[in-house]
């Protein structure tokens, strides 16, 4: 199944049914009078967060969602049938944006959450509604109210506890593969990861979700490379893990590149707790490792973890540090007798 995190859809609620003009004409009823019924209500358009979905691919093949119109009123004081509602089922974590792609209409962060996007039109009054003591045979009825038509955007932001950041080929996918059962594509060329991946990692009888997004390059916030649209998938994370390639000859510049992109992206992303790790240390000798570690710590201004996704060196310490930054209510605690998701 393809991954799709942005979709444009067109919605329209149903129009209300027209009121009816009718008079009771029966052979043995001397004073019949008006008996036109009201029109039915038009159907509404709702959006609901459901379980079992992690992509918006369904909206690639259907972009138009029109609710049913209400039925017109009928004689004998019969009200028209209400139009059926339409429900857009989306993954948890989906944002509903207005046509300008900036105004947030709803943020679907909880399972079962339901939001009204377009309310159906009310049905018109039949002539029975206008009967008075001075107007006992009204010949007027109201038309039904028009439905609401609008264009909206659906943007998916994955629900994860920790997010991975780094340049292409920094080792993010290898880290996710080594610490979870996720199997992202791994290769020795840039931009191997083309869409976000999720993995459940475990340490000290606790599990949490890690999100791996495609690598960023300088100028990503301006649309260079794959761009920064995937950064939305780590906006909801409690902590970010910044991986720096230890074999790079410009590792300090690499670190500042990612930090600069976070600041250019704006919002709260640059202010989130961030853990820095020097990756691929198994490819360095002791002298090179110490030199790279010292240079990166000076750039970060704080501690830097040493790790390797291939040899699994230092992974446990990194996972424990990530766990310490995640609130207990976001963790999935396991009984002592359960086996760990991953063992170093």
| 279 labeled binding residue | yes
| Residue of 98, 10, 26, 132 whose CA lies nearest to 62 | 10
| 257 labeled binding residue | no
Alpha-carbon radius of gyration of the chain: 29
| 37 labeled binding residue | no
| 168 labeled binding residue | yes
| 273 labeled binding residue | no
| 302 labeled binding residue | no
**Secondary structure, 3-state, the chain:** CCCCCEEEEEEECCCCCCCCCCECCCCCCCCCCECCCCCCCCCCEEEEEECCCCCCCHHHHCCEEECCCCCCCECCCECCCCCCCEEEEEECCEEEECCCCCCEEEEECCCCCEEEEECCCCCCCCHHHHCCCCCCCCCCCCCCCCCCEEEEEEEECCCCCEEEECCCCCCHHHHHHHHCCCCCCCCCCCCCCCCCEEEEEEECCEEEEEEECCCCCCCHHHCCCCCCHHHHHHCCCCEEEEEEECCCCCHHHHHHHHHHHHHHHCCCHHHCCEEEEEECHHHCCHHHHHHHHHHHHHHHCCCCEECCCCCCCCHHHHHHHHHHCCCHHHCEECCCCCCCCCCC
| 309 labeled binding residue | yes
| 85 labeled binding residue | no
| 34 labeled binding residue | no
CB 278 within 8 A of CB 294: no
| 281 labeled binding residue | yes
| 115 labeled binding residue | no
| 226 labeled binding residue | no
| 214 labeled binding residue | yes
| 170 labeled binding residue | yes
| 167 labeled binding residue | yes
| 191 labeled binding residue | yes
| 92 labeled binding residue | no
| 303 labeled binding residue | no
| 171 labeled binding residue | yes
| 192 labeled binding residue | yes
| Sign of the torsion angle spanned by Cα atoms 303, 307, 309, 315 | negative
Query: Binding-site residues, please?
Result: 166-173, 191-195, 212-215, 279-282, 308-310
Query: Binding-site residues for GTP, please?
Result: 166-173, 191-195, 212-215, 279-282, 308-310
Query: Binding-site residues for Mg(2+), please?
Result: 173, 193
């Amino acid at each position: 199944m393809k991954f799709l995190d942005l979709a444009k859809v067109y919605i329209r609620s149903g129009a209300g049914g027209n009121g009816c003009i009718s008079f009771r004409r029966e052979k043995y009823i001397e004073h019949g009078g008006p008996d036109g019924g009201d029109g039915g209500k038009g159907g509404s358009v709702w959006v609901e967060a459901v379980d079992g979905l992690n992509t918006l691919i369904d909206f690639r093949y259907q972009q138009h969602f029109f609710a049913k119109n209400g039925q017109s009123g009928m004689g004998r004081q019969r009200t028209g049938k209400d139009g059926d509602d339409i429900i857009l089922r989306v993954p948890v974590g989906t944002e509903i944006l207005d046509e300008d792609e900036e105004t947030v209409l709803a943020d679907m962060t909880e399972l079962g959450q339901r939001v009204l996007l377009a309310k159906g039109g009310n049905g018109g009054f039949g002539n029975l509604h206008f009967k008075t003591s001075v107007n006992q045979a009204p010949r007027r009825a109201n038309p039904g109210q028009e439905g609401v038509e609008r264009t909206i955007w659906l943007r998916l932001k994955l629900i994860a506890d920790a997010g991975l950041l780094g340049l292409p080929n920094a080792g993010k996918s290898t880290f996710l593969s080594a610490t979870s059962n996720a199997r992202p594509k791994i290769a020795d060329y840039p931009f191997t990861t083309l869409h976000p991946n999720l993995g459940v990692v475990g340490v000290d009888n606790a599990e949490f979700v890690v999100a791996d997004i495609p690598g960023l390059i300088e100028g990503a916030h301006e649309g260079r490379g794959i761009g920064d649209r995937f950064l939305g998938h780590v906006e909801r994370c409690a902590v970010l893990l910044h991986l720096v390639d230890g074999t790079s000859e410009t590792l300090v510049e690499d670190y500042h590149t990612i930090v600069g992109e976070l600041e250019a992206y704006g919002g709260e992303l640059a202010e989130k707790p961030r853990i820095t790790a020097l990756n691929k240390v198994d490819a360095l000798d002791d002298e090179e490792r110490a030199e790279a570690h010292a240079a990166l710590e000076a750039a970060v201004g704080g501690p830097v973890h040493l790790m390797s996704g291939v040899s699994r060196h230092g992974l446990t310490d990194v996972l424990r540090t990530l766990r310490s930054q995640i609130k207990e209510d976001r963790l999935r605690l396991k009984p002592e007798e359960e086996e760990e998701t991953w063992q170093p």
